Chain A
């Protein structure tokens, strides 16, 4: 028999008090990270109503239930404002699953090991950049596992987006009109390679002044196939990345203004470079970081990799034509940090601020929302993530352990009511398959101007 030790509102009250007092250690009943270090059950750090959706909603919703327009009020406070509108007014439904309590399922193996290994060794230097204790580039994992403020929390994401030293994602994209019809459908590949802040603790090929190389190339439809983008990120987060585009028809590279971060890469997509990973711009080109609060939240952090389905593709539902939302599985996250930041380095930004919800256990964002300059909600960037295990189907990374990565992204411009769905699939047109293993010279294969030209000529 489980004896309830605390009153119902204890957990939420404790989270609010933490923010009010400026306390930052994750966990309510006990600090979280000692539990993580011991590999213990994460639920021990929180009271019942923060780990059980049934307790939180006083029995209205439990794992196995579906949140829809009829019952969404019970979890309104657990969703970002756009997700709430989607459920309430656009026919979205969310499957509720039991909470994850095993930290190893919330990280890829190497990144968790690096996080534990390097805990307490990060600090900001005079320029505001994160450095390792020896003053050199960061050596992998989250620099601030127990972030004490918004800047640290955002740093955890920015320094290593995909948490693998190298990732190549096969992505299928659908862009949905307000009517619910598909306006565009693209297949593309997204590759990112950390040259620093790597889990192996090394600097890749001596590129210590860079943080990452990242490229995107489109493989479908035919009229867009071969179009490619290359972005070189500096380690110094005050600098804008270099951005190049490649047009196969002209065999020419176009250099973009470095601060052009609020435009789509190709027509139809609502996703801007600035949106990527809820931290798509160099961290120090944003400012006025603020911690807004700590709270429980519903997040798609497990059960969303459907490796048993053909090409890992997920079913869709809702909207005008039943195609606007991907089927999602969410669980109660006991504690997220809610932070805000402003695009202080972009004098022409159409965005006034972004709000990001970050799971304190793995320091990965759950969702983010941007606001226009009038302060009205504009776009959401909701991401599903989790371990790539679906029953018997398992997808492993280079460590030999089940991979952990993002599974889907839904970018919803609520003002013009256009949605982009990015589904992380196994393979896209052109034969590119998702991988976390560096097979050969990926830099010269995918991440140089010459590589872009080769990709475009295929």
Chain B
């Protein structure tokens, strides 16, 4: 009686036409969903949705200026008070009003009417723009302009640098009209056009960052093409026959159509920043196909019948294939445990793609192998008649590796493994959470955007903000919470607490500051009138003073349009973890002192770059070990079931976990902290890395009987056959992913590529060394069983490695 998988294989092969039609129909069905596929970066979806900071951010997305672009005009050889620079600022201000999707009411620079100075007059107050109807050009006009700036404290703080060499142009965009790509192209054009020998132009702000990311994402397709091409070439060089090249390509392409088509039908946007993972799946599919095909060659060399060989291969490989893919699926799906919407969507996309590798990588590949012409170089490929070229070298290396995993050398190997493991675990546990970058972690440190952020931080309060939100409780109430004394006085007290003592922010700003300035001006201009009358009417007077003849949008950095919610903005010198921790602690203490809950509003800590960075760190800290632990449990259960032994599960998990520790230890030693990248890489690393072990252990189970329970020969035979496929698999992953590190202008993708390559390489080495060593040491009984899910229900002797193939393996 044949086992189930052999019956499935036989049925499939005897109904090949039906199976092919079914595959074509399903593929067409998924292909129809391709038209709905959307590649879209939704930045807010990269944040953990259950984090309190993120919830504040989502409740008040407009604070922290997410739609504002900041251009800094920096005079290289002097200050901005000259005709040329001021004319440039004037023209750039006019030009930015032409940017697609800009809010014409929210453009601010020293050349706009919104930058004003005020003078007390006998009647009251005369408020005028800093610049008249043209940019100052004569010495008298420039002097006059400088005097006006002196009468405009807010302009001096937020629009002109203290050394007078730089000035800012801020433009806010309307969210539903903003096409990031188009706007970025226009703005970057402005930047390039206005740079000259006297001026540097820097551009920062979330729309600029998004623009850069989109710009680089368009490069991603070229890198995709390059890496896919490299994969195909590697495949062709390795296989040197049509079947061996066509089969992985067709199989992987069909899985890809299913993967993309599935999310197309779900209309779930795909996050381009994570597209390296699908490439990993392509490489995974390629390598799986190679292992499957190599086994097919071995069997074909025995049976000399394509269909029969395909049927037997399907039967032999079904269980280890499914088990290997199952671990990939678990690894990918468990990424969704971290409550980050982009990760959840991506786990769905890639997890199902991995699932599709089962029908395509087990059934479709068998159908293709049975249909395509038999390769003429089978004997050479399986090593009959001796190995040549690369195959010979690989086999020699593998034989050497096998040599250190059993017998006397194994004792030394064991010592090395234990020492490395202790060092790796200890070092890995020292790793820090987070990789603070001045600017965006998505881009390289020397990228134009991050350079701009650094320059702006150097000249102005900067972009490292913590926003403490004052949230109105009764927003339907026509009375404006931001006009009430309790609100504004609490803001002032909070600012005062933050500004006192050590670790104070570089600058603070709230609606209260504008009210004080309004109060001063309308009270005659003397600074002694900065203080607000601590009554509702006094505060409201200040609000009316600044709002007269103005749009609420002019204050959208500190209050919302309806004036029911506001923020206290705190600028910090950097976003290093120490600064972030101190800032949050100090802010938390200050909020406690002023009380978070008031009759008309509540204070929520907080949003801004500081808080959101901490949110990302929190999610990594919370879920890193949770995901690894869950992954271990699920894989332990699956593998123990497949091998009918918990020892098997433990033997398989030991190398992958050690690999993970070694990766983290390496990251710590080179100064990289744990972040969202490493969270994903850890999950994928364990899920995909364990495949090597599964293939090798399955082979060991097969070879064990062939070699009369001789552990040494069994290990050598397994390593020199399946080990070759493992080496190729690792190589192909290397080829597919490493180029991203060098080619991607997106640091996020490059980092992920590097970490994935590292984890795959470490996993490969440990699978080839540690797993056989553990088998040698433990000598598990399950290896001798003939009823394993991943073992064989038929006589394998015809298909296992012959002495000729092993050579002098012992």
Chain A contact residues, CB within 8 Å of chain B = 177, 183-185, 221, 223-224, 227, 229, 245, 247, 249-250, 252-257, 259-260, 263-268, 347-348, 350, 372-374, 378, 415-417, 449
- Smallest beta-carbon distance B95→chain A, Å: 9
Chain B residue nearest to A449 (CB atoms) is: B123
The CA of A374 and the CA of B538, in the complex, are separated in Å by: 42
The CA of A418 and the CA of B273, in the complex, are separated in Å by: 35
The CA of A255 and the CA of B116, in the complex, are separated in Å by: 13
Partner of B548, one of A183, A221, A254, A415: A254
Is B552 touching A250 in the complex (CB atoms < 8 A)? Answer: no
Partner of B125, one of A252, A264, A267: A252
Is A247 touching B123 in the complex (CB atoms < 8 A)? Answer: no
Residues of B within 8 Å of A449, CB to CB, are 123
Residues of A within 8 Å of B480, CB to CB, are 223
Is A250 touching B522 in the complex (CB atoms < 8 A)? Answer: yes
Residues of A within 8 Å of B138, CB to CB, are none
Residues of B within 8 Å of A255, CB to CB, are 121, 123-127
Residue-wise, chain B 523-557 has the 8 Å CB interface mask toward A (1 for contact) of 10000000000000110110111011111100000
Q: Within 8 Å of chain A (Cβ to Cβ): is B376?
A: no
Known interface pairs A183-B562, A265-B549, A415-B174; A252-B540 also in contact (CB < 8 Å): no
Is B561 touching A264 in the complex (CB atoms < 8 A)? Answer: no
Known interface pairs A263-B551, A347-B134; A250-B103 also in contact (CB < 8 Å): no
- Smallest beta-carbon distance B515→chain A, Å: 11
With contacts A221-B479, A223-B543, A247-B544 known, what are 15 further pairs, Cβ within 8 A? A183-B561, A221-B478, A249-B522, A252-B124, A255-B127, A257-B113, A263-B551, A267-B551, A347-B133, A350-B104, A372-B97, A374-B98, A374-B100, A415-B177, A449-B123
The CA of A185 and the CA of B133, in the complex, are separated in Å by: 34
Is A256 touching B97 in the complex (CB atoms < 8 A)? Answer: no
Residues of A within 8 Å of B105, CB to CB, are 350, 416
Partner of B544, one of A224, A257, A260, A347: A224
Known interface pairs A263-B550, A268-B561, A373-B98; A249-B545 also in contact (CB < 8 Å): yes
Known interface pairs A249-B541, A347-B134, A348-B113; A256-B551 also in contact (CB < 8 Å): no
Partner of A372, one of B104, B133, B523: B104
The CA of A264 and the CA of B480, in the complex, are separated in Å by: 18
Residues of B within 8 Å of A260, CB to CB, are 113, 129, 549
Residues of A within 8 Å of B544, CB to CB, are 223-224, 227, 247, 249
Is A247 touching B121 in the complex (CB atoms < 8 A)? Answer: no
Residues of B within 8 Å of A415, CB to CB, are 103-104, 174, 177
- Smallest beta-carbon distance A373→chain B, Å: 5
Residue-wise, chain B 111-137 has the 8 Å CB interface mask toward A (1 for contact) of 111000000010111111100011000
Known interface pairs A260-B113, A416-B103; A253-B124 also in contact (CB < 8 Å): yes
Residues of A within 8 Å of B551, CB to CB, are 263-264, 267
Chain B residue nearest to A228 (CB atoms) is: B548
Known interface pairs A223-B479, A223-B540, A373-B98; A256-B547 also in contact (CB < 8 Å): no
The CA of A268 and the CA of B551, in the complex, are separated in Å by: 6
Total interface residues on B, using CB and 8 Å? 46
Residues of B within 8 Å of A221, CB to CB, are 478-479
Residues of A within 8 Å of B545, CB to CB, are 247, 249-250
- Smallest beta-carbon distance A429→chain B, Å: 12
Is A177 touching B98 in the complex (CB atoms < 8 A)? Answer: no
The CA of A254 and the CA of B103, in the complex, are separated in Å by: 27
The CA of A249 and the CA of B551, in the complex, are separated in Å by: 20
Known interface pairs A253-B124, A348-B133, A373-B97; A267-B550 also in contact (CB < 8 Å): yes
The CA of A251 and the CA of B123, in the complex, are separated in Å by: 10
Known interface pairs A223-B543, A223-B544, A266-B547; A249-B537 also in contact (CB < 8 Å): yes
Residues of A within 8 Å of B98, CB to CB, are 373-374
The CA of A229 and the CA of B549, in the complex, are separated in Å by: 9
Partner of A223, one of B94, B483, B550: B483
Chain B residue nearest to A372 (CB atoms) is: B104
Q: Within 8 Å of chain A (Cβ to Cβ): is B427?
A: no
The CA of A253 and the CA of B121, in the complex, are separated in Å by: 9
Is A378 touching B104 in the complex (CB atoms < 8 A)? Answer: yes
30 residue pairs from A and B, CB less than 8 Å apart: A177-B561, A223-B483, A223-B543, A224-B544, A227-B548, A229-B549, A247-B541, A247-B544, A247-B548, A249-B522, A249-B537, A253-B123, A254-B549, A255-B121, A256-B549, A263-B113, A263-B551, A264-B549, A264-B551, A265-B549, A266-B549, A268-B552, A268-B561, A348-B111, A348-B112, A372-B97, A373-B104, A378-B104, A415-B103, A415-B177
Is A250 touching B549 in the complex (CB atoms < 8 A)? Answer: no
Residues of A within 8 Å of B523, CB to CB, are 250
The CA of A263 and the CA of B561, in the complex, are separated in Å by: 15
Select the residue from A245, A372, A417 with max chain B CB neighbours within 10 A. A245
Is B548 touching A249 in the complex (CB atoms < 8 A)? Answer: no
Is B174 touching A264 in the complex (CB atoms < 8 A)? Answer: no
The CA of A10 and the CA of B175, in the complex, are separated in Å by: 46
Q: Within 8 Å of chain A (Cβ to Cβ): is B563?
A: yes
Residues of A within 8 Å of B94, CB to CB, are 348, 373
Select the residue from A249, A265, A350 with max chain B CB neighbours within 10 A. A249
Known interface pairs A223-B540, A252-B522, A416-B103; A259-B174 also in contact (CB < 8 Å): no
- Smallest beta-carbon distance A451→chain B, Å: 14
The CA of A100 and the CA of B543, in the complex, are separated in Å by: 47
Residue-wise, chain B 745-781 has the 8 Å CB interface mask toward A (1 for contact) of 0000000000000000000000000000000000000
The CA of A245 and the CA of B134, in the complex, are separated in Å by: 25
Is B124 touching A254 in the complex (CB atoms < 8 A)? Answer: yes
The CA of A386 and the CA of B521, in the complex, are separated in Å by: 45
Residues of B within 8 Å of A252, CB to CB, are 123-125, 522
